[in-house]
A and B are shown apart, each in its own frame.
Chain A
Amino acid sequence: MMNSRFEWAIIFLIVLLLGGAWIVESRESNIEPKNFLLTEAPLVGHLAPDFTAQTTDNETYALKEYIASEGENGRPVVLNFWASWCGPCRMEMPAFDRASLKFADRAAILGINQAESAETIKRFAQTTGVTYPLLVDEDQNINNKYAVLNLPTTIFIDGEGVIREVFVGTMNQAVLEDKINALLEE
């Protein structure tokens, strides 16, 4: 241990100066101009990772089909990660179904299953009467790309393909419609 207050003061000062300098160096506004790159990542403000998946009826959906490209305007996309065993997912599905009908031509809602077979999803869709596309992700490729840990997770993507919000937990009709409207107003 150190002996004098002077030694302590020197240590204190070194920590303050080096720590402060490191904080200034790490500041985001200092970093971004150096190596700014809008990359795909499951994080707000980043490009939504692209994917292609099929429904149980073998219809193919690709995220890039909805995203703006070469002069064409894109549409907001809502990705809802779910599983048939997940109670809260089932509870919020009617809200997603109604929203998919209400915003039919203006925004897309895609349900992405977590790790279940096409047969299970098909049976579930028939029982519940869900009409928006339920995509199969048995090997969890898309779930991994979006780092989905908890169900339900809902990801809001704007027409430019940028993630605007990651919402974990159940959502009611009003909240869902508010968030879609916010994307449409941008």
Chain B
Amino acid sequence: MYPAINLGPLVLPTASFIILIGVWVCLVLAERIARRLGLDADIMSGLVTTGIIAGFIGARLTFVFLYWPAYQDNLLGIVWPLNSGFNIWGGIFFGAAAMFFYARAKQIPAAPYLDALAPVFVSGLMFVSLADFLGGPGFGTFTQMPWGIESYDMRRHPVQLYEIAAGAVALIAWWYYQKRRVFEGQLFLITTIIYGLGRLFVDAYRANTWIASGGWHGLQILCLLAVLVALFLLMRGSENAKIASA
């Protein structure tokens, strides 16, 4: 919709700009939530910063690996310039792996920090959806609904806004349960279930989604698996908490 913001001679890519704001918001949020839940804010910041940096490097290296012929005669191009060429799945994988090893190295208990990370993850993904809505290549399927938006000469579902709404519901649920937490890890599992269900539902309306072999929406399958695993762990956690309190 607005791929670039023109500031005189400067052309600012909207999506990159929104992602930068998102990174900043996530870092601030991580610190504040850590304090709210009684965790070490410095460790939390370190965890999130490690994830972001590793995610950035991982996204770049994955892209270079996928398009190696374009770089084999220009190795300097791997590191500079960095205005293009990132793979989001590589970023997520390497970011998560780096956070895991950081947590292991610092001997951080997983459950309470995952509780604190849940709203940070969801907020980050909401910024990704916002960037995609304002300046990204994503778009929804056709619709005649009154809230449809004109995109590429057709009336389409504003699917990125649906994703943001799913994130907002998950954040509200996190906020509601943080004062009623029964066991550590519960907030992370509840947020995963709600956001996962939301993305599972709205992905049907994304026209440029990842289509797996056989026409299946890959993201929907991943979401359903994540929701079922989280439900199972929530059940186990609740049972253990009940036994402990008895």
Contact = CB atoms under 8 A, between A and B. Distances in A.
Given A15-B197, A49-B152, A23 B220 contact: yes
Contact of B81 (A11, A87, A153): A87
Interface residues of B, number: 53
Interface string B21-32: 000000000000
Interface stretch (B98-106, B164-172, B198-206): B198-206
A5 B201 CA distance: 26
A150 B13 CA distance: 8
Given A23-B220, A39-B152, A114 B11 contact: yes
A15 B231 contact: yes
A156 to B, nearest CB: 14
A167 B214 CA distance: 25
Contacts, number: 134
Interface residues of A, number: 53
Contact of B227 (A19, A27, A172): A19
A170 B77 contact: yes
Given A39-B154, A149-B136, A22 B228 contact: no
B89 interface: no
Contacts of B215: 27-30
Given A15-B228, A175-B69, A115 B85 contact: no
Contacts of A5: 235, 239
B12 to A, nearest CB: 11
